[in-house]
């Protein structure tokens, strides 16, 4: 309807009628304004415009990979824009600052607390784009403070005898153990987990894709997290095996414990918050079991037993009579390749997306 026609039409209505008509018009213009997704205690209102569009002029992005919340409430996000890789947000979506040009393959971001001081571990996968071309080089891990000053870095494991020179190192994520040990998931490289001490001295490697039982292997070891929900002294590691649609649990010294299955969902890094594990889903499978490479993301939420209790953006999880989870099926057209989930103190979620037309993260407001 032309603007002049709309004005004349509204002028002929009573105030109440005009308000009602305007509300309906706005609802029609923005059909996703009040989209609700999720199940049970994990239902959310979708806020796609969490970051105001005009902020992109000063803080451009390419892919939004991972985000963490520091003690003062700020949100740090790593991406792979060629000269704008770290973005810092307020929780209302305002971008406070952005910087970084030394991690062209910026992929993983992990928060560490050392005696009350916070540090970030940035994982550069070594995979990056320049224009329409893509490049693969060796990745690295960098420890920085919150101002971006580098403390030290960890490069190719062949430098400490952990890899042969021809083994590829394209790491995707880091987890920090209770003693400060650094666990690196080589998810785009050789699929091992590499353990170093807090000073960057090599300890061991474990996992891998070849030469291990199929039900214990790591195939696209995309993410890793410390799970301390069982209490001090009982911590374990949860490692993504994305190609196998699952997470694998290991002891801190690399012994396999169990598999947490997410059939149909190509999950990214595990995020522990409260009693639950959250993860973005980059791709899913269709009803015929075929991988959907187009926009197909959602979020999964697992409880302490490893059971999927909710899948915002997908149909409700269903278990058969034997207790086996049926393949998860994308339902809502909300996400483009969910890559990470940042859980806020009030239970809201910020979902970072990969290959999502250079769009900023989406906020999910938790419903009471």
CA 111 from chain centre, in angstroms, equals 14
pLDDT-derived band at 28 (thresholds 50, 70, 90) equals very low
| Per-residue model confidence (pLDDT) at position 296 | 75
Q: In the predicted model, what is the mean pLDDT of the chain?
A: 90
CA distance 287 to 297: 15
| Per-residue model confidence (pLDDT) at position 130 | 62
Tens digits of per-residue pLDDT, 242-268? 999 999 999 999 999 999 999 999 999
Tens digits of per-residue pLDDT, 297-325? 999 999 999 999 999 999 999 999 999 99
**115 in helix, strand or coil?**
coil
**181 in helix, strand or coil?**
coil
CATH of domain 33-366: 2.120.10.30
Residue 79 has which token pair?
């991406």
CA distance 34 to 31: 7
| Per-residue model confidence (pLDDT) at position 288 | 79
**20 in helix, strand or coil?**
helix
Instruction: Give how far Cα 277 sits from Cα of 35, 67, 180, 224, 304, Å.
Output: 23, 15, 21, 12, 8
pLDDT-derived band at 144 (thresholds 50, 70, 90) equals very high
- Owner of token pair 């209790």: 309
| Per-residue model confidence (pLDDT) at position 343 | 98
Indicate if the pLDDT at residue 364 is higher than 90: yes
Residue 192 has which token pair?
């091992």
Indicate if the pLDDT at residue 9 is higher than 60: no
Q: Is the dihedral of CA 90, 94, 100, 101 positive or negative?
A: positive
| Per-residue model confidence (pLDDT) at position 235 | 98
How does DSSP assign 207-268, residue by residue?
Answer: E-SSSS-TTT--SS---EEEE-TT-TT--EEEEEEGGGTEEEEE-TTS-EEEEEE-TTEEE-
Domain regions of the chain by residue span: 33-366
Kindly state the DSSP code that residue 19 receives in the 8-state scheme.
H
Burial 255-287 (b: 16+ CB within 10 A, else e): ebeeebbbbbbbbbbbbbbeebbbbbbbbbbee
Question: 51-65, 126-140, 194-208, 354-368: which has the minimum mean pLDDT?
Answer: 126-140
Kindly state the DSSP code that residue 275 receives in the 8-state scheme.
T
Of 188, 250, 258, 184, residue with least CA distance to 219: 188
- In 94-156, the DSSP E strands lie at 95-99, 106-114, 117-124, 127-130, 133-136, 140-145, 150-154
| Per-residue model confidence (pLDDT) at position 234 | 98
Instruction: Give how far Cα 186 sits from Cα of 201, 286, 287, Å.
Output: 17, 28, 31
Question: 20-24, 115-119, 145-149, 174-178: which has the minimum mean pLDDT?
Answer: 20-24
**Mean pLDDT across 203-223:** 97
Max intra-chain CA distance, the chain: 81
Tens digits of per-residue pLDDT, 61-86? 999 999 999 999 999 999 999 989 99
Indicate if the pLDDT at residue 1 is higher than 80: no
**Mean pLDDT across 330-341:** 94
pTM of the model: 0.90
Residue 54 has which token pair?
């005009």
Tens digits of per-residue pLDDT, 152-161? 999 999 999 9
């Amino acid at each position: 309807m032309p603007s002049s026609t709309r004005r004349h039409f509204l002028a002929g209505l009573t105030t109440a009628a005009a308000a009602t008509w305007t509300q309906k018009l706005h609802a029609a213009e923005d059909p996703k304004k009040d989209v609700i997704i999720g199940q049970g205690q994990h239902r959310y209102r979708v806020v796609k415009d969490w970051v105001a569009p005009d902020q992109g002029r000063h803080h451009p992005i390419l892919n939004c990979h991972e985000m963490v919340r520091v003690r003062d409430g700020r949100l740090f996000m790593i991406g792979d824009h060629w000269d704008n890789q770290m973005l810092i947000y307020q929780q209302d979506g305002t971008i406070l600052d952005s910087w970084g040009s030394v991690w062209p393959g910026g992929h993983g971001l992990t928060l560490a607390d050392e005696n009350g001081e916070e540090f970030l571990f940035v994982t550069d996968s070594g995979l990056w784009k320049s224009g329409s071309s893509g490049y693969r080089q060796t990745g690295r891990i960098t420890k920085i403070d919150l101002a971006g000053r580098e403390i030290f870095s960890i490069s190719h494991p062949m430098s400490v005898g952990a890899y042969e020179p021809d083994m590829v190192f394209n790491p995707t994520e880091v987890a920090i153990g209770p003693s400060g040990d650094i666990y690196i998931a080589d998810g785009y490289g050789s699929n091992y987990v590499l353990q170093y001490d807090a000073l960057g001295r090599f300890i061991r490697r474990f996992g891998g894709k070849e030469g291990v039982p199929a039900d214990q292997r790591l195939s696209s070891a995309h993410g890793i997290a410390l799970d301390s929900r069982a209490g001090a002294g009982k911590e374990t590691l949860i490692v993504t095996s994305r190609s196998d649609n699952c997470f694998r649990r290991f002891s801190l010294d690399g012994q396999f414990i169990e598999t947490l299955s997410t059939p149909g969902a190509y999950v990214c890094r595990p995020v522990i918050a409260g009693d639950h594990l959250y993860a973005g889903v980059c791709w899913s499978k269709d009803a015929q079991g075929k991988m959907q490479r187009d926009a197909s993301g959602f979020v999964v939420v697992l409880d302490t037993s490893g059971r999927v209790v909710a899948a915002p953006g997908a149909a409700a999880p269903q278990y058969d009579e034997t207790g086996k989870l049926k393949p998860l099926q994308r339902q809502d057209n909300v996400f483009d390749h969910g890559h990470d989930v940042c859980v806020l103190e009030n239970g809201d979620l910020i979902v970072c997306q990969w290959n999502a037309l250079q769009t900023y993260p989406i906020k999910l407001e938790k419903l009471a």
